[in-house]
Structure 1
């Protein structure tokens, strides 16, 4: 994906600390104080333009949502989407997912969402896939006992790889769908990519995984 340069993006993110948390390491272990409640914490890694996590936050006011996106030129669209009326249970982090264990204490997160991540199809790039054991080890660290990973993709190769990777690591899989939009799942919240791909008739793959600690 070629990113469009937005030289003004950094300034806009800086202007909205009520939406974008600039010092997430300071809140490690204290995110419930940040949100001023004791609600569950759900994290989306690679949140992109934020459509999914924003809709989820609005639909689930009793859950705290945090979207992590590395590229400010992408995240700025998500901030623009909500800066007039941001849900109080939503925060964005303009950070690299590989540092996620620096932002959350052990067992602080209830659920991790991985939606339409880059498949990195070349074998030599496998470690960059967000379902590689390198990342799974960090999800294990931050997730509570019985916490879950929810994964969606349009890429069958990545889906098959992820099933193998998650299973090998010790995750228990459930609610596996090989064609989500022709399944009986209700209340599915779509990402921007999901809307685009489903309109083209492409299959969407989905699964849920939990790790018993």
Structure 2
């Protein structure tokens, strides 16, 4: 689906540069300076329109959250949600970082979220999947020793691939759910995609894993 250009997006982000961080790569190793309080740092890759990260920020004031979203016309929707939620612990980054190690220092992140990533179903596109081993190397570098990854998707094929990828990398898989919403997890914050797919009866898959240190 083609996204509509929003000519006001740049001005809107500049007006709220306390939330949408500028000079992103200058913060490497010092991300706590972007927040009012020093707290465990949680990172979402591909924040979309921001329903998840704004909801998490409101539900968990004891954590600091960073949402990375490369599409400018999408991240301004996330910015609106963060403003509406009136949270002080959420920051957004409008970057297409090829390597997260350019943006975050080693052992800087406590928890990483991958929500409804593009499944890239064709075999020739395997390297683009966010659970491909080259991405896992990045996550391992920036996560603290006990840091975890929470992965959610509606795509059974990507979920099975990701479980295999985690296992082959030597990670410890702590939780696997083949129908997340049947658990009635009150702490689960749904993304926009999650609401859409769940309303159609599509099961939502979730796993939590950590690196074997």
Question: Do both share a fold (TM > 0.5)?
Answer: yes
State the distance in 2 between where 1:85 and 1:161 align.
Answer: 35
Q: What is the aligned partner in structure 2 of residue 135 from structure 1?
A: 135
Task: Provide the alpha-carbon RMSD of the alignment.
Answer: 1.4
Is 2:20 the counterpart of 1:20?
A: yes
Contact 1:46 1:97 in 2 (8 A): no
CA distance in 1, matches of 2:126, 2:77: 29
TM-score, structure 2 length as denominator? 0.95
Contact 1:29 1:105 in 2 (8 A): yes
Q: Offset at 1:134?
A: 1.3
Q: TM-score, normalised by structure 1?
A: 0.95
- SS of the residue aligned with 2:98? helix
Aligned to 2:118: 118
- Residue 113 of structure 1 deviates from its aligned partner by 0.2
Alpha-carbon distance between aligned partners in 1 of 2:150 and 2:65, rounded to the nearest angstrom: 14
Residues 103-112 or 23-32, more deviating: 23-32
Aligned-partner Cα distance in 2 for 1:209–1:176: 9
Gaps of 5+ in 1: none
- Residue 63 of structure 1 is matched in structure 2 by 63
Matched pairs, number: 213
Name the counterpart of 2:95.
95
- CA displacement at 1:68 relative to structure 2: 0.1
> Counterpart of 2:99 in 1: which secondary structure?
helix
- Residue 167 of structure 1, CA deviation: 0.9
8 A contact 1:154–1:197 mirrored in 2: yes
